[in-house]
């Protein structure tokens, strides 16, 4: 709406803070704007010829203060945009003064040349966006990501396609979703190292647990230990593990308790320094000592 004076500005109503819809919209805008700003900060730092690092906390604080002032005046949310940042760098901008000059030029154009701005065709703005996007994601970047493996290449391609065909937020969300699914799948299938193909009959079976054993690893560890042949010597090496979920400790405890009945010689190494709480940790420690005593009693 047109604003002719201070009386035309929207007035702050305390009753609006009591509406859940207001808080939902505010939180959504804060998350979206913060995410876009952090992504722009990372991309801008990569484009910086002097390889400087932008303080992310200061950027978010300034953005939050700016959004509060803009909201009180009835303005739109503000956020850092990679297009303007990239154009600023390509124009030779080096410091904060370039951003201030950029804002002053925009204000002058809006106040003095509004009719001329309306005549700029959207196709011209789209061409600028395409050029900036090409400079950000060059074909060499695709080759570098492909050489890094599918774990980097697939989320990268999904993100680029999502941003190109939808918008920045949806594209980044799709890329994050693909990356999270891959991390969970890898964590589920590789919580430990055990190569049955290189195992020779009569040798001890060594199962090496990873640094962080979560509840997602419960099914895989249980399946592997349950498939151990009777009469096998099993060594569970947890010396690299820093944290172990109580559910995984219960799986190890159940395996140690059933090992004697299956004539399995079971050993667990490195449980003393692993962070865990609850009675399951104590029971597992007692089971380890009991299994060690049983192994010592065997001829």
pLDDT tens-digit profile of 74-99?
Answer: 788 888 888 788 888 888 888 888 88
Return the pLDDT at 196.
60
Return the pLDDT at 129.
81
Query: In this predicted model, which residue has the larger pLDDT, 172 or 238?
Result: 238
pLDDT at position 239 over 80: yes
Q: What would the CATH number be for the domain defined by 192-297? A: 3.30.750.24
Band (272; pLDDT cuts 50, 70, 90): low
Residues 6+ away with beta carbon under 8 Å from 26: none
Return the pLDDT at 296.
52
Backbone phi and psi for residue 105, each to the nearest 5 degrees, phi listed first: -65, -40
Return the pLDDT at 112.
93
Return the pLDDT at 208.
86
Band (276; pLDDT cuts 50, 70, 90): very low
In the chain, what are the domain boundaries? Answer: 6-137, 138-189, 192-297
Residues 6+ away with beta carbon under 8 Å from 29: 67, 77
Residues 6+ away with beta carbon under 8 Å from 42: none
Longest dimension (CA), the chain: 97
Question: Contact, 273 vs 243, CB < 8 A?
Answer: no
**Of 63-72, 85-94, 113-122, where does mean pLDDT reach its minimum?**
85-94
Question: Contact, 225 vs 258, CB < 8 A?
Answer: no
Encoded tokens for 206: 């060594």
Return the pLDDT at 275.
47
Give the CA radius of gyration of the chain. Answer: 29
Return the pLDDT at 299.
52
Please give the model's pTM, rounded to 2 decimal places: 0.56
pLDDT at position 14 over 70: yes
Q: Are strands 265-269 and 233-237 parallel, antiparallel or unpaired?
A: parallel
Return the pLDDT at 21.
85
d(CA 252, CA 287): 9
User: Above pLDDT 70, what percent of the chain?
Assistant: 81
Band (195; pLDDT cuts 50, 70, 90): low
Return the pLDDT at 284.
54
Band (121; pLDDT cuts 50, 70, 90): very high
Q: How many CB atoms lie within 10 A of CB 248?
A: 28
d(CA 248, CA 73): 55
Return the pLDDT at 108.
94
Band (20; pLDDT cuts 50, 70, 90): confident
32: exposed, middle or buried (Cβ count in 10 Å: 0-12, 13-18, 19+)? middle
Residues 6+ away with beta carbon under 8 Å from 231: 262, 263, 264
Backbone phi and psi for residue 55, each to the nearest 5 degrees, phi listed first: -65, 110
Average pLDDT over residues 234-263: 87
pLDDT in tens, 21-44: 888 888 878 887 888 888 888 888
pLDDT at position 187 over 80: no
Task: Give the chain's mean pLDDT.
Answer: 80
d(CA 32, CA 22): 15
Band (224; pLDDT cuts 50, 70, 90): confident
Question: Contact, 241 vs 211, CB < 8 A?
Answer: yes
Return the pLDDT at 151.
83
pLDDT at position 277 over 50: no
38: exposed, middle or buried (Cβ count in 10 Å: 0-12, 13-18, 19+)? middle
């Amino acid at each position: 709406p047109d604003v002719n004076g201070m009386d035309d500005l929207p007035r702050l109503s305390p009753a609006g803070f009591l509406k859940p819809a207001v808080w939902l919209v505010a939180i959504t805008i804060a998350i979206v704007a913060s995410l876009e700003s952090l992504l722009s900060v990372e991309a801008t730092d990569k484009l910086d010829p002097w390889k400087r690092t932008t303080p992310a906390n200061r950027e978010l604080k300034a953005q939050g203060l700016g959004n509060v002032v803009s909201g009180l005046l009835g303005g739109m949310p503000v956020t850092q945009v990679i297009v303007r940042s990239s154009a600023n760098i390509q124009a030779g901008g080096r410091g904060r003064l370039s951003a201030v000059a950029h804002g002053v030029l925009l204000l002058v154009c809006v106040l003095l040349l509004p009719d001329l701005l309306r005549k700029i065709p959207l196709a011209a703005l789209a061409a600028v966006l395409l050029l900036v996007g090409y400079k950000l994601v060059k074909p060499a970047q695709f080759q570098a990501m492909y050489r890094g493996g599918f774990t980097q290449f697939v989320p990268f391609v999904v993100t680029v396609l999502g941003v190109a065909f939808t918008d920045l937020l949806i594209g980044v969300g799709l890329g994050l979703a693909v990356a999270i699914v891959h991390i969970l799948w890898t964590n589920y299938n590789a919580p430990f190292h055990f190569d049955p193909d290189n195992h020779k009959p009569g040798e001890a079976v060594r199962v090496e647990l990873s640094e962080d054993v979560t509840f997602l690893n419960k099914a895989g560890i249980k399946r592997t230990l349950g498939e151990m042949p009777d009469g096998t010597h099993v060594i569970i090496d947890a010396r690299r593990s820093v944290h172990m979920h109580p559910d995984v400790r219960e799986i190890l405890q159940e395996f140690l308790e059933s090992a004697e009945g299956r004539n399995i010689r079971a050993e667990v190494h490195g449980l003393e320094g692993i962070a865990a709480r609850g009675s399951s940790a104590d029971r597992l420690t007692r089971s380890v000592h009991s299994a060690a005593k049983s192994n010592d009693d065997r001829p």
